[in-house]
Structures are given as C-alpha cells and as structure tokens.
C-alpha cells in the first residue's frame, strides 16, 4: 500500500509492484484531496488492516509536510512507525541541518506546539 503526496516525482510510482494499491493524498494550494485528519485516519486504518503501508512524501516532510502529526496519530493508536511489520517510517531529509533535525525525530520546524528557537 502506497500513500503518496502531490510533491513526489510521479515516475517513482513506476517502481511499485503491479498489485500495489496507490492512494494520492496530495495537497496543492487551495486544492486538498483529503484533510490532514483524514490522511491520519487512512494511515491508521490501513496499518490496522494489516497492510504494509509506505508513506511517500515530497519536499521536507518534517518542515511543512506535517510528518510529526502523522507519526503522532499512529503512535497514539499504538502503531509502531519504525521496525514495524506494517508501517515503516524512513525519512531522507534535505541537506540543511534544520531539516535533518526534523527528520531525526526532533521537533517539526513548523509545528507550533513543539517548535522552538535557539538563541
């Protein structure tokens, strides 16, 4: 099962197995295929159904991609996001230090309830 964003290079979809279920949950300015809460629920439902879920996000998913919200939603439901049979979170971050911190489980840089500023 592949749940992907609008920001990915769609040529990546060619690398999935033939019977892979693919769901686009992409968001573009003013055009959202799903609200974030619906995406979170989809991830939870598919993982609980026993599907092997791959979440493919473009850009920097822990800067403006709401990656932490998705991880939090899964964790709150008791779904492991790493080393799990059903859901594996792997993030290849951008090259700047701040993006790397976000991908390594540090606070999402745009998450208001966790963001901080070091002076």
Give the β-pairing of 31-32 and 27-28.
antiparallel
Tokens representing 65 are: 């991609």
Q: Which of 9, 14, 22, 27 is catalytic?
A: 27
Residues 57-92 pLDDT 10s: 877 777 766 888 888 899 999 988 775 665 555 555
Contacts of 107 by beta carbon, 8 Å cutoff, 6+ apart: 68, 101, 114, 115, 116
Task: Please enumerate, as own/partner, the contacts of 48-52 that have beta carbons within 8 Å and a separation of 24 or more.
Answer: 48/77, 48/79, 50/86, 51/1, 51/21, 51/86, 52/1, 52/85, 52/86, 52/87
Determine which one of 5, 46, 57, 60 is catalytic: 5
Active site residue 57: no
pLDDT tops 50 at residue 93: no
Return the bridge partners of 108, or none: none
**Token couple for 79:** 């779904």
What band does 42 get if pLDDT is binned at 50, 70 and 90?
A: very high
The pTM of this model reads 0.71
Question: How many Cα atoms are found within 13 Å in the side-chain-facing hemisphere of 46?
Answer: 20
Whether 46 sits among the annotated catalytic residues: the reply is no
């Amino acid at each position: 099962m592949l749940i992907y964003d609008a920001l990915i290079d769609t040529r990546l979809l060619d690398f999935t197995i033939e019977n892979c279920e693919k769901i686009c949950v992409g968001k573009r300015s003013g055009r959202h295929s799903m609200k974030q809460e619906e995406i979170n629920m989809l991830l939870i439902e598919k993982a609980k159904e026993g599907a092997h879920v791959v979440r493919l996000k473009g850009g920097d998913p822990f800067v403006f991609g709401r990656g932490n919200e998705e991880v939090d939603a899964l964790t709150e439901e008791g779904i492991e996001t790493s080393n799990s049979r059903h859901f594996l979170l792997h993030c290849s971050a951008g090259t700047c230090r701040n993006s790397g911190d976000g991908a390594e489980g540090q606070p999402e840089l745009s998450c208001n309830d966790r963001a901080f500023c070091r002076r």
